[in-house]
């Protein structure tokens, strides 16, 4: 069985929905279909989820919501009319939205926003189920409430209650036909609607794939595959990545690869379900398969990622290596300020701690530096900002001499100075920190070396 998830751009209008139905019907194994809310039809357009947020904001202010309400209904009506789905579904969506808006009086603001945002996926799943039925296929909408998608945590940033797996698995054990399931939301134990973070339909798909032990989780989007480098930096990149491992995906996603949000794939990765990223607009393309292991050609790299806005806290102290507890104390200071750290390369008498710029605003930086000076008495401490991290990733680098040398040579030939390097013993990736101004040139140099 395959679980497939279609993103907003795949469901933005009737033509796209027709493509989705063709894809699902082309393979009888595609039995669970997770849908997002309709997305942008063109670059200047607004996603239904954003229209719903605007609607919720207007309702919270106690202002007239007619315009925003009309804009949301219009998006569904356009699809329903083009596919001759009848008027009933449009009326149903109108009633559903009115019921939700009325709850503004009784829910807290975060609860109300989640209720409104969830309307995008929920109504779309109902509409898509009708579209399949009108084509003469057995399809039904399944509700996250009835199937037991229980969420906990913060509204707008909820996570799955792990007990849901058993309930979901039972709910899907005896059904026939195609199930259309709304992504992005579930219910709290108290029965309130709660959503995952934005883009959360990927999470729903991943959870369902794990719950039903799917053979594959197909994630349909609008790119043919994952590319080994950001095409905005290297426009000539044409060959996608056919297969990569979960580890490779994680390393690339860490440094900004838009493959997937890390959290989205955790359920599928834990259950070892292969993930296939595919293009709704080119369903003949095999896409990128992400799985536990793959055949690896020694000495090859799978991708090069880069991410801006890292800072480096550099602490120097003569004879630091003999000072027992120095590293622990340093990390304690960061922990007290709730700053997560990313990398920790060290020298004999120096310790660097790389953190994301967003976690070190100026006032925190000031407190951290003062405490380091006071409590650790260093010879010097400074913060370097504007660092870019380059990640060179590939299982094929393990046990292969010269991979790092090649990267250094490429950067040296381009006249780029390396600020810092780090390689874990897994050897699946190495990290190079450079100045932000050198980012594009550095990525291009590495691409030429490993893929050119």
Number of other CB atoms surrounding residue 324 within 10 Å: 8
Tell me if 49 contacts ligand ASP by CB under 6 A. yes
By beta-carbon proximity to ligand ASP, the closer residue of 223 and 392 is 223
By beta-carbon proximity to ligand ASP, the closer residue of 182 and 378 is 182
Of 89-148, which residues contact ligand ASP (CB under 6 A)?
A: 120
How far is it, in rounded angstroms, from Cα 119 to Cα 44? 22
Shortest distance (Å) from residue 158 CB to ligand ASP: 13
How far is it, in rounded angstroms, from Cα 198 to Cα 118? 11
Of 225-284, which residues contact ligand ASP (CB under 6 A)?
A: none
According to CB under 6 A, which one of 112, 141, 155, 184 is a site residue for ligand ASP?
184
Shortest distance (Å) from residue 196 CB to ligand ASP: 8
According to CB under 6 A, which one of 65, 201, 279, 351 is a site residue for ligand ASP?
201
Encoded one letter per residue, x for contact with ligand ASP by CB under 6 A and - for no contact, window 357-376 reads --------------------
Tell me if 403 contacts ligand ASP by CB under 6 A. no
By beta-carbon proximity to ligand ASP, the closer residue of 51 and 431 is 51
**Could you tell me which stretch among 19-27, 198-206, 208-216, 330-338 binds ligand ASP (CB under 6 A)?**
198-206
E strands, 149-248, are 151-154, 157-160, 178-182, 185-187, 193-195, 216-221, 243-245
According to CB under 6 A, which one of 200, 267, 287, 378 is a site residue for ligand ASP?
200
**Could you tell me which stretch among 192-200, 212-220, 404-412, 420-428 binds ligand ASP (CB under 6 A)?**
192-200
* Tokens representing residue 371 in the block: 């405490």
* Cβ density class 75-103: b for 16+ within 10 Å, e for less: bbbebbeebebeeebbeebbeebeebbee
Using alpha carbons, select from 170, 202, 258 the residue that is nearest to residue 8: 202
Tell me if 38 contacts ligand ASP by CB under 6 A. no
By beta-carbon proximity to ligand ASP, the closer residue of 6 and 227 is 6
Sheet arrangement for strand 350-356: 350-356, 303-316, 380-393, 429-435, 420-423
Residue carrying the six token digits 């399809």: 139
* Tokens representing residue 179 in the block: 């199930």
How far is it, in rounded angstroms, from Cα 167 to Cα 188? 14
**Could you tell me which stretch among 90-98, 193-201, 277-285, 413-421 binds ligand ASP (CB under 6 A)?**
193-201
The residue sitting closest to ligand ASP, measured at its beta carbon, is 201
Tell me if 37 contacts ligand ASP by CB under 6 A. yes
Number of other CB atoms surrounding residue 341 within 10 Å: 16
How far is it, in rounded angstroms, from Cα 223 to Cα 202? 15
According to CB under 6 A, which one of 103, 198, 329, 343 is a site residue for ligand ASP?
198
Using alpha carbons, select from 421, 226, 280, 269 the residue that is nearest to residue 343: 421
Shortest distance (Å) from residue 263 CB to ligand ASP: 12
Shortest distance (Å) from residue 22 CB to ligand ASP: 21
Shortest distance (Å) from residue 169 CB to ligand ASP: 23
Using alpha carbons, select from 275, 235, 236 the residue that is nearest to residue 259: 275
How far is it, in rounded angstroms, from Cα 70 to Cα 51? 10
Where along the sequence are the contacts to ligand ASP (CB under 6 A)?
7-8, 36-37, 47, 49, 120, 183-184, 198-202
């Amino acid at each position: 069985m395959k679980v497939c998830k279609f993103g907003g751009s795949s469901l933005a209008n009737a033509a796209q929905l027709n493509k989705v139905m063709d894809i699902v019907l082309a393979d009888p194994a595609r039995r669970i279909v997770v849908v997002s809310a309709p997305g942008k039809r063109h670059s200047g357009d607004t996603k239904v989820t954003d229209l719903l947020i605007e609607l919720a904001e207007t309702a919270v202010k106690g202002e007239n919501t007619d315009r925003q309400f009309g804009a949301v209904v219009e998006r569904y009506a356009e699809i329903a009319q083009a596919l001759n789905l009848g008027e009933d579904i449009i009326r149903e969506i109108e009633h559903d939205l009115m019921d939700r808006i009325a709850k503004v009086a009784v829910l807290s603001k975060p609860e109300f926003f989640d209720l409104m945002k969830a309307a995008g996926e929920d109504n779309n799943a109902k509409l898509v189920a009708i579209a399949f039925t009108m084509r003469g296929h057995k399809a039904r909408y399944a509700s996250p409430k009835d199937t037991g998608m229980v969420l906990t945590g913060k509204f707008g940033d909820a996570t799955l209650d792990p007990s849901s797996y058993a309930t979901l698995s039972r709910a899907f054990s005896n059904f026939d036909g195609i199930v259309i399931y709304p992504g992005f939301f579930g219910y709290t134990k108290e029965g309130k609607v709660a959503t995952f973070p934005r883009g959360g339909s990927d999470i729903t798909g991943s959870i369902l794939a794990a719950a039903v032990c799917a053979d594959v989780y197909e994630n349909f989007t609008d790119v043919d595959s994952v590319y080994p480098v950001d095409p905005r930096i290297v426009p000539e990149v044409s060959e996608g990545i056919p297969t990569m491992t979960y580890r490779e995906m994680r390393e690339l996603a860490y440094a900004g690869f838009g493959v997937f949000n890390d959290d989205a794939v955790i359920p599928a990765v834990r259950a070892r379900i292969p993930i296939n990223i595919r293009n709704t607009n080119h369903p003949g393309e095999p896409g990128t398969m992400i799985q536990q292991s793959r055949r690896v050609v020694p000495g090859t790299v799978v991708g090069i990622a880069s991410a801006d806005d890292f800072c480096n806290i550099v602490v120097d102290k003569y004879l630091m290596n003999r000072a027992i507890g120095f590293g622990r104390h340093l990390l304690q200071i960061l922990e007290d300020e709730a700053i997560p750290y990313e990398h920790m390369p060290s020298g004999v008498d120096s310790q660097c701690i790389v953190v994301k710029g967003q976690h070190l605003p100026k006032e925190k930086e000031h407190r951290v530096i003062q405490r380091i000076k006071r409590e650790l008495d260093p010879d010097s401490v400074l913060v370097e900002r504007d660092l870019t991290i380059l990640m060179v990733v590939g299982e094929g680098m393990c046990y292969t001499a010269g991979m790092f040398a090649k990267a250094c040579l490429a950067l040296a030939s381009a006249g780029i100075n390396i600020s810092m390097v780090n390689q874990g013993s897994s050897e699946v990736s190495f990290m190079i920190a450079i100045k932000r101004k050198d980012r594009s040139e550095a990525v291009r140099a590495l691409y030429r070396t490993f893929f050119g």
